[in-house]
Structure 1
Amino acid sequence: MALLIKGDPKGKQKFNEFVVNKIVITKYNHVSYRIDDVAWDMTPMTEFERKGQTCTFVDYLKHHHNYVVKDTTQPMLISKLKPRKNDRLTQSDTTQRVAALVPECCHMTGLTEDQRANFKVMTDLAGSTRLTPQQRVEGLHRFIDRLMKCEAAQELLSQWSLEIVPGIIHVEGRKMDGPGLSFGDRVNLPKAGPDFSREAGLSVYDPIAIKRYAVISTQRDSDKAKRFIEMYQQVSKPLGIKMMQLGTLVTLRCFLPHDFNNALRGLDKNSTQFVVIIMPMQRDDVYAAIKKFCVSDCPIPSQCILSKTLGNEKRLRSIVLKIALQINCKLGGSLWALQMPLKEQVMFVGIDAAHDPLKKDPSTVCLVASLNNECTKYYSKAASGRVHQEMAESLRGMLEDAIKYFQSVRHRVPDRIIVFRDGGSVGAMEHIEKTEMEQLMQAQQQLAPDASFTFAVVAKRIPQRFFLDQGRKGFDNLQPGSVVDNTVTRRHYFDFYMVSQQVRQGTVNPTHFIVLNPNDAIKTDLIQKLAYVTSFMYFNWSGTVRVPAMVQYAHKLADLLSRHVKAKPHETICNTLYYL
């Protein structure tokens, strides 16, 4: 309520923007609600009917929760409630159950943008949330000791014939070497490590020459835009990117969605390769309008940059260097290539889905497939699913389009198709196998009947944690490339845990891979090795990521389409990484 400043004509608007879609928890009964609106015509003194009697919110809180409201003039927060399981609503019944909440009775959950931007706050918070492996092991031992000494806990466990092992389980694992990577200017890494940012910043494997591009900014940011154009030219030459012409600057007076759309429509689509938009501040409506125009309405690669990002002169070169690398990928180029010593042609496929948090719009399902063994070229496809539905129903057509495009580029169908499907709990494996995997296998049998097919579910949100026992030195994180495929794996599944990424703070989270159709065509060592080496090919990060790159690309695309574009992408850009 501090935003409601007397005399501020935009006070109500500011408070609405601050609180709507936030989640609060009530002080008196600890129930969480998502705020959908603010009722400025209601106060705690407003009367409502309950069980045939009228009472005010002040009286209700006093009598039922022993809570005394101090400010009786504040507006009320409105939360739309979900239908309960026992509610029987007819098709003609459109009544929406809502809850009216007193602001002073609510705690805001999560962190505000100001808190996230506060380095000291985030550092202090990380000390409690990002525990080191040694701290986690010590905490687990303390928890187990408490359980062993608690008679009530032991009695409850004995009723279920369960026993807590006094200590953590020791399992055997192994570490795989990194793959060979090729960069520009004949730079090669025979065994790449989890961080190869130095080599990635020297030269580009497949540079795309720049003939003409445009930069759109407000008049206030025109100096930053000119500085960006100069720095972009400086960093492009060492990367091997030829720049034939400097960018054309287009300035705007206002910062509204239609202003940017008008500027984009005024560009010469035949000669402009891409457009850079410098935004004064983060605004979802402006960003969504730009991306919808550039992805769906009139396909053109676009790169949005916040004005404050270009404000630090000391870091400007490194920032523009990363932007230059990102633009090269959006134009169809690649930054490095995978050295894969396989004679057969492999197509890696990543699948992910994104959901509307408000559960209004349909879910977006995305498929990204590699087009060569070097994993430098990709094809993407998107489709809409049911509202907040994880299971995809149109995967057969999506994979068929990917195989056809692979054949048009490579003049042959792939010899091996490996699908990595992001998400999915262990309880949903049977359903995924009977629906999604069956669809994909039908597409493979239709267009590439001689190809071997492997389907693996990739789970990131898992409770398991693994620590490297160093004896007297204590416990540390597993090194990237570590695999555990015994003792803690599922009895009825072909699965394994892998750590591919490197973390500098806290404890590393492993990734769980579950192969749903194990067969003689794919050996354990091979699928583990392929899952690891593909984690090196995410061009937005010069290092390894938690999942195979195609899964991360599919996640990035699904998030962009679901949150901002909300439309089908244009077919002409399906072979570029426009969503980076």
Structure 2
Amino acid sequence: MDKEIIATPRGRGSVLLAALQRKRQEMNENIGIKLPSSEEVGNKGSVPRGRGALILAALKERKSKTQENVGSQIIGSFEEQCPKPRGRAALLEKYFRGKEVGALLNEAKIDTSRTRPDETLVQEITKINIKDEPAVFKGESGKMIDLCTNYIKLDITEGKGVFEYEVKFNPTIDAKNHKIELVNKIMGDLKLAKVFDGGHCLYLPQKIITSQRSYKLILSHNNEEVTITLIFKKQKRLGDKDCIHLYNVIFKRIMHLLLYTRLGKNYYDMTHRYLIPQHKLEVYPGFVVSIDEHENGLMLGLDIQHKMIQNQTAYDLLVEKKITSDSRNFKENVYKMFLGMCVLTRYNYKTYIIHDILWDMTPKDTFQTSDGRSLSFIDYYKNQYKLEIKDHDQPLFLNRKSVKVPGSLQKEDRMVCLIPELCYLTALSDSMRSDFSLMKEVAQCTKVSPQQRLLALKNYIDNVKNCAKAQEILEQWGLSLASDNIQLVGRELDAEMIVLGKGKTISAGFNADWNRELSNNSALMPVDILEWIVFYTAQDAVNANEFVRNMERLSKTIGCRINAPRMEKLPNDQTHTYVNYVKNKITNSTQVAVFICPTMRLDRYCVIKKLCCTELPVASQVINSRTLSRSDKLNSITLKIALQINCKLGGSLWTVRFPFRGWMVCGIDVYHGTQNQSVCGFVCNVNEHFTRWFSSAIFQSKELGDFYQIAFTRALEEYKSHCAAYPSKIIIIRDGVGDGQLDYCKQYELRQFENVLKSFDIEATICFIVVQKRINTRLFAENAKNPPPGTIVDHTITRKYLYDFFMVAQNVRHATVNPTHYIVLHNSSQLKPDHIQKLCYKLCHMYYNWPGTIKVPAPCQYAHKCAAMVGQFVKTQPSSELANKLWYL
């Protein structure tokens, strides 16, 4: 920056400079850092005049109200009250914003490669790079295919929109209901729709004043005269966060008009339900409704959702557990069962998460009401809901919820005590999920075909258009709902060629399934199984011997040598018996240990996996004897087990053609455990054919990772040891990141990888991709069918300001396929959309646990499996000797 430009700002430039300097001083005081003064920078400033003096006065007045976040609030206020700076003012803004962040990081001596930066610094960084221009990310490869989606276009009448007003009361009013009363009187006289938050922010569908207007009204409860001043702030941009939230509120009202009940975040029809009486289960149909700005404008997303509610209450389960559990560990078992469970209270149709159990409280206890009275829970539910609580000695459940406090940036915890007798379970228990007949009946209700989804979509549009009140609400805000869902043209990528053993090449085909070909051809890189052990009990001797004979017979099919194993018969199936035999029988020469268990017990499985992954690092395979008892499918089952064991020993089953060299693809996913303990799985290829993988698990406390440097450093070393050079391009595919974490992920997680490359002095480029699986977008091919594998949509319904696309990689025969959302956050590799889309589709073929395509790239699925195995069962750092093998399959 030229010093002469810095030294002579005037007008708006001097005001902006003064605001930025005050911001720096505040941050200096808050974090104790000595920052350069304006004299040290070389700027003495100038006295603002005219409009600049007015703006400066407004900034000073607002400063006293925003002490906690003075810097960002002043900049926000300045941007709202004057036009976007140009010329020298724009240069100054860019210079000082970059200089402040750099000075804070340097002078505080924050090691961003090792520690989590302060939240305020991260927020400041993420505010700098805001994309204002619409993003275009369209590929060209593949053939065109006609599609439709579950989005409905929302048109806005010209001259309408969302206009923000500030509301001031003189004298000041604290009660929210009194504020709402006065605002309702004004809007009633003007005959305008509104959204008022009960504080100082009012949204209207049109501009009624240019600057400000005052009204004098009388409060009904004390006849006090109050002056209300409406101040016009600005018109919201269509994609603004507050604007999108407002449109969602409007459709929330419409859903209530259509007699849908809100449970959690979704809406359900409580008058229609599917009953499964033999299992005391009810299934309610409903909708997921969301408004967002897409490439083709504002759209309503609508998808079918189901809610399962048990007729059994939490109290019933509590009594059942008390009868079946030992009194010494009763409370411990109850904690394990209920903590984190979601329950429904039918008296108000609200859902709650159970965060604690209050053993020292009962319904006989009292609480303080808003008018100062003491009231027992028994009397409260009797008076309020006409409900009689039968057991007066049952403990209470506690729900905590963080809510925003009006007039404050802080949140406070609100506690809600729940009566178990009135709480209905909303989730399926483990025993229910293991019941095949129950899950089959549930699937008949919840697995909806594309035809049914499209029919429900059209019925919803008709219901809204036939509801006069719903149309009135939409017209008030200048909205109109299209008469049909969005139609568009997508692309279908060509089928991939699968490379098997002995140079055999086959096509994945239209269904992207090569199970039959894999059964008749050898694996790409098989591993000989020379030393292995089979542990079994006496009751499973027949199944064990038959399994071993099949393994030896199938060795020619796989293309490897399988010797006869050591057979170890256990006297019983107790956990300590398995522990003793594993420690005494497994040696350094053992390649794999196979355990044939009479039942699948979680505690025994955890012990086996922990021993084989940490103390005695060896590939392990746990098989339920019931699986081997199916004689008609024993050959196919044994073949799948043999192939899985081969992968756990470092073998490879197949690959696809990758037309490049020197690329490393990293997959990242996080498993969330109890007590905020999470495990991050990090998996990357270590050869150029993507057949060998390096895996590591990292324990962390939050979703966003802190310690990627360690795993990434080891991955680079492993890649170099196999390929004799560091990679030239690095593609990071990150799973499990929501929309609200995208900026944070880009600024913080990406920086860790860049720091490692810088420390190694590697001139490699990075492409950072986020994968989202849990989305409500649906794609339908012609004749209301599921689109084929390889279908790409990268326009119309994609986000307006993101480089993103949707892809259907998997083949779904029943129900409706769920596409995967890919968001390219960073692309210094300058890869074209076609390159990224084809790469992701190829990697969806490389998951060795399934001879077909999966919905996410294989590195992400491997990372998911690794994190889940460590987080659920191993619960400690696995041995580094297993890092180059897919031991968690």
User: Shorter-chain TM-score: what band?
Assistant: 0.7 to 0.9
1:122, CA displacement in angstroms? 3.1
1:76, CA displacement in angstroms? 3.2
Match of 2:653 among 335, 340, 345: 335
Q: Deviations over 1:125-152 (max 9, x none)?
A: 3233222112211111110111122232
Q: Distance in 1 between matches of 2:654 and 2:766?
A: 27
Q: SS state of the match for residue 168, structure 1? A: strand
Q: SS state of the match for residue 67, structure 1? A: coil
Alignment correspondent of 1:166: 483
Match of 2:680 among 338, 361, 365: 365
Q: Which segment drifts farther, 496-505 or 238-247?
A: 238-247
- Tell whether 2:546 aligns with 1:231: no
The 5-angstrom pairing of residues 364-513 of structure 1 reads: 364-386=679-701, 389-447=702-760, 449-469=762-782, 474-513=783-822
- Going from structure 1 to structure 2, the CA distance change for 1:83 and 1:153 (only over 3 Å counts) comes to closer
CA contact 2:767–2:829 (8 Å) conserved in 1: no
Q: Distance in 2 between matches of 1:489 and 1:5?
A: 50
Q: SS state of the match for residue 609, structure 2? A: helix
Alignment correspondent of 2:880: 571
Q: Distance in 1 between matches of 2:467 and 2:637?
A: 55
Runs of 5+ consecutive residues of structure 2 not aligned to the other structure: 1-315, 406-412
Alignment correspondent of 2:530: 211
Q: Deviations over 1:502-527 (max 9, x none)?
A: 00111111111111123563111111
Q: SS state of the match for residue 844, structure 2? A: helix
- Tell whether 2:877 aligns with 1:562: no
Alignment correspondent of 2:565: 246
Q: Distance in 2 between matches of 1:271 and 1:233?
A: 19
- Going from structure 1 to structure 2, the CA distance change for 1:217 and 1:98 (only over 3 Å counts) comes to farther
1:270, CA displacement in angstroms? 1.3
The 5-angstrom pairing of residues 263-282 of structure 1 reads: 263-282=581-600
Q: SS state of the match for residue 622, structure 2? A: strand
1:563, CA displacement in angstroms? 1.5
Match of 1:529 among 798, 816, 838: 838
1:501, CA displacement in angstroms? 0.3
1:8, CA displacement in angstroms? 7.1
Q: Deviations over 1:205-259 (max 9, x none)?
A: 1111111211223333333323322222222332112112324224142422x33
CA contact 1:354–1:558 (8 Å) conserved in 2: yes
Amino acid at match of 2:794: D
- Going from structure 1 to structure 2, the CA distance change for 1:308 and 1:58 (only over 3 Å counts) comes to farther
CA contact 1:35–1:77 (8 Å) conserved in 2: no
Alignment correspondent of 2:639: 321
Alignment correspondent of 1:151: 468
Q: Distance in 2 between matches of 1:216 and 1:69?
A: 53
Match of 1:545 among 830, 839, 854: 854
- Tell whether 2:610 aligns with 1:295: no
- Going from structure 1 to structure 2, the CA distance change for 1:86 and 1:280 (only over 3 Å counts) comes to farther
Structure with the bigger percentage of strand: 2
- Going from structure 1 to structure 2, the CA distance change for 1:278 and 1:501 (only over 3 Å counts) comes to same
Q: SS state of the match for residue 481, structure 2? A: coil
Q: Distance in 1 between matches of 2:564 and 2:394?
A: 57
Q: Which segment drifts farther, 313-322 or 497-506?
A: 313-322
Match of 2:386 among 41, 62, 66: 66
- Tell whether 2:622 aligns with 1:304: yes
Q: Deviations over 1:482-510 (max 9, x none)?
A: 11111122222221111100001111111
Q: Deviations over 1:376-425 (max 9, x none)?
A: 10001221222xx2111112232121111100111111122111111222
Amino acid at match of 1:289: V
Q: Which segment drifts farther, 487-496 or 445-454?
A: 445-454
1:453, CA displacement in angstroms? 1.8
Q: Distance in 2 between matches of 1:562 and 1:436?
A: 21
1:5, CA displacement in angstroms? 8.2
Q: SS state of the match for residue 82, structure 1? A: strand
Q: Distance in 2 between matches of 1:62 and 1:392?
A: 49
- Going from structure 1 to structure 2, the CA distance change for 1:102 and 1:128 (only over 3 Å counts) comes to closer
Q: SS state of the match for residue 315, structure 1? A: helix
Amino acid at match of 2:593: V
Aligned positions, number: 558
Q: Which segment drifts farther, 398-407 or 484-493?
A: 484-493
**Structural RMSD (CA):** 3.1
CA contact 2:367–2:377 (8 Å) conserved in 1: no
1:261, CA displacement in angstroms? 1.9
- Going from structure 1 to structure 2, the CA distance change for 1:192 and 1:403 (only over 3 Å counts) comes to farther
Q: Distance in 1 between matches of 2:321 and 2:434?
A: 27
Q: Distance in 1 between matches of 2:627 and 2:437?
A: 20
Larger of the two Rg values belongs to structure: 2
Q: Distance in 1 between matches of 2:544 and 2:776?
A: 46
CA contact 1:420–1:456 (8 Å) conserved in 2: yes
CA contact 2:552–2:564 (8 Å) conserved in 1: no
1:33, CA displacement in angstroms? 4.5
- Going from structure 1 to structure 2, the CA distance change for 1:191 and 1:314 (only over 3 Å counts) comes to closer
Q: Distance in 2 between matches of 1:546 and 1:219?
A: 41
Percentage of matched positions with identical amino acids = 34
Q: Distance in 1 between matches of 2:740 and 2:359?
A: 45
- Going from structure 1 to structure 2, the CA distance change for 1:183 and 1:493 (only over 3 Å counts) comes to same
The 5-angstrom pairing of residues 177-192 of structure 1 reads: 177-190=494-507, 192=509
CA contact 1:39–1:76 (8 Å) conserved in 2: no
Q: Distance in 1 between matches of 2:556 and 2:620?
A: 21
Q: Distance in 2 between matches of 1:27 and 1:488?
A: 37
CA contact 1:413–1:448 (8 Å) conserved in 2: no
Amino acid at match of 1:155: E
Q: SS state of the match for residue 164, structure 1? A: strand
Q: SS state of the match for residue 442, structure 2? A: helix
Q: SS state of the match for residue 171, structure 1? A: strand
TM value normalised by structure 2: 0.58
CA contact 2:498–2:506 (8 Å) conserved in 1: yes
- Tell whether 2:530 aligns with 1:221: no
Q: Distance in 2 between matches of 1:149 and 1:425?
A: 36
Q: Distance in 2 between matches of 1:76 and 1:218?
A: 44
Alignment correspondent of 2:181: none
Alignment correspondent of 1:50: 367
Q: Distance in 2 between matches of 1:86 and 1:152?
A: 31
Q: Which segment drifts farther, 172-181 or 52-61?
A: 52-61
Alignment correspondent of 1:92: none
Q: Deviations over 1:23-80 (max 9, x none)?
A: 43233333445567889999x7x7324349998765554334312245x48x735534
1:439, CA displacement in angstroms? 1.4
1:7, CA displacement in angstroms? 13
Alignment correspondent of 2:493: 176
Q: Distance in 2 between matches of 1:226 and 1:55?
A: 69
CA contact 2:497–2:508 (8 Å) conserved in 1: yes
1:191, CA displacement in angstroms? 5.2
Q: Which segment drifts farther, 127-136 or 560-569?
A: 127-136
Alignment correspondent of 1:29: 348
1:351, CA displacement in angstroms? 0.7
CA contact 1:215–1:278 (8 Å) conserved in 2: yes
1:158, CA displacement in angstroms? 3.3
Amino acid at match of 2:780: F
